[in-house]
Structure 1
Amino acid sequence: MNKSIFVVRHCKAVGQQPEAQLTEEGINQSLSLVRFFSKYNIDRIISSPFTRAIQSINPYAKKRNINIEIDNRLAERTLSNQSYHDWMEKLKKTFTDMDLKYDGGESSREAQARIKDVIDDIITSSFSNTIIVTHGNLMALLLKNYIPEYGFNNWMALRNPDVYHIRWNDGKYTVECIW
């Protein structure tokens, strides 16, 4: 049995809040995703509950008449419930210490486990070609699961949007950036 999972980082948005909308550029990027995915036979779409993630894939879902399933496990990772002036350095540390956890936040290992659960559920589903739409930090942690050296600098290099293709063939995974 073969599966294809297309992991999409949302398009450009006006902010980081869960209700942040896409920018005008982000709206145009979402239309580019329609063209990009037209060559694939997608049969399922799962999105983070954040507005920017849903808006990123909504034009494609409408064109293909595919329902967008919302999965809270695809929501962006909470680094902390505190505001830190050095949050970038704190985030960097979580790529090397996967169990490091800040006040009210989630460790990298915890976040990685929840998105990996989504992938495992997709593998056991009846769907062959699934798009999941998520956020940069969570996407990077998923990719680190398959590419152990994937780290902070790779996260910094992610674009809005970005698309990775995870192929599952008889228990073996391959990962490729296709955007």
Structure 2
Amino acid sequence: MTNLYFVRHAQSAYTPDELGRPLTEKGFADAKKVTEIFKNVEIDVVISSPYKRAIQTVEGIAHDFGKEMEIEEGFKERMLSIVPAEDFTFAITKVWEDESFAWGGGESNEAARKRGSEVTCRILEKYKGKDIVIGTHGNIMVLIMSYFDQQYDFSFWRNLEMPDVYKLTFDGRELRSVERLWGG
């Protein structure tokens, strides 16, 4: 069995710089709590989205296990649109209601799910039988989960916390179980 521990990043300070947006003081405190969850788990690999908030959320785990963190573009957050949405709730609802719809310069659910599931399948093949922590983001995480099990949907996404930690257990590419380990 292969275990993927998806870690949705902790609270970040809003800036228009998606790549460099850092954690808040609360975010750093919660990241320490996330690290504690893994004290009694043998982690083989730590991977993160290239976004600073995701890296900062899981870097303590990499440090504790003496692992070099791998950066994986495929786990970055879905691009909703090239310009900030005037009404985020409306914009995000629209892309979840119509899987093929994309706002200008953004990714549809179909496109983001394809990107996320392809990298996840590569990770499952490359690290078969290992325990892998993946620092990522809410939308892309749920889109990946929905690729393997359609019960993970918009309603599930809306109830996520920052941070949130899910253990997905796979037999090859078959999702066997999902367990929530912690929600901030």
Q: Considering the TM-score relative to the shorter chain, is it more than 0.5? A: yes
How far did 1:171 drift? Answer: 4.4
Partner of residue 142, structure 1: 144
How far did 1:139 drift? Answer: 1.0
Partner of residue 34, structure 2: 33
In 2, Cα distance between equivalents of 1:15 and 1:109: 27
How far did 1:142 drift? Answer: 1.4
Question: For residues 85-129 of structure 1, what are the alpha-carbon distances to aligned partners after superposition, in whole Å with 9 as ceiling and x for unaligned?
Answer: 223112112123111111101111111111111211121114511
TM-score under structure 2 length normalisation: 0.90
TM-score under structure 1 length normalisation: 0.93
1:163 aligns with 2:165: yes
Cα-Cα RMSD: 1.5
In 2, Cα distance between equivalents of 1:147 and 1:47: 22
Partner of residue 105, structure 1: 106
Contact 1:163 1:178 in 2 (8 A): yes
Q: 2:133 aligns with which of 117, 131, 134?
A: 131
How far did 1:155 drift? Answer: 1.1
Percent pairwise identity: 30
Partner of residue 13, structure 2: 14
Question: For residues 45-70 of structure 1, what are the alpha-carbon distances to aligned partners after superposition, in whole Å with 9 as ceiling and x for unaligned?
Answer: 11000111111111121111111100
| Count of aligned residue pairs for this structure pair | 178
> Could you say if the C-alpha distance between residues 37 and 108 of structure 1 is closer, same or farther in structure 2, counting changes exceeding 3 Å?
same
Structure 2, unpaired ranges of 5+:
none
> Could you say if the C-alpha distance between residues 52 and 103 of structure 1 is closer, same or farther in structure 2, counting changes exceeding 3 Å?
same
Contact 1:146 1:175 in 2 (8 A): no
Partner of residue 176, structure 1: 179
> Could you say if the C-alpha distance between residues 42 and 103 of structure 1 is closer, same or farther in structure 2, counting changes exceeding 3 Å?
same
In 2, Cα distance between equivalents of 1:140 and 1:171: 17
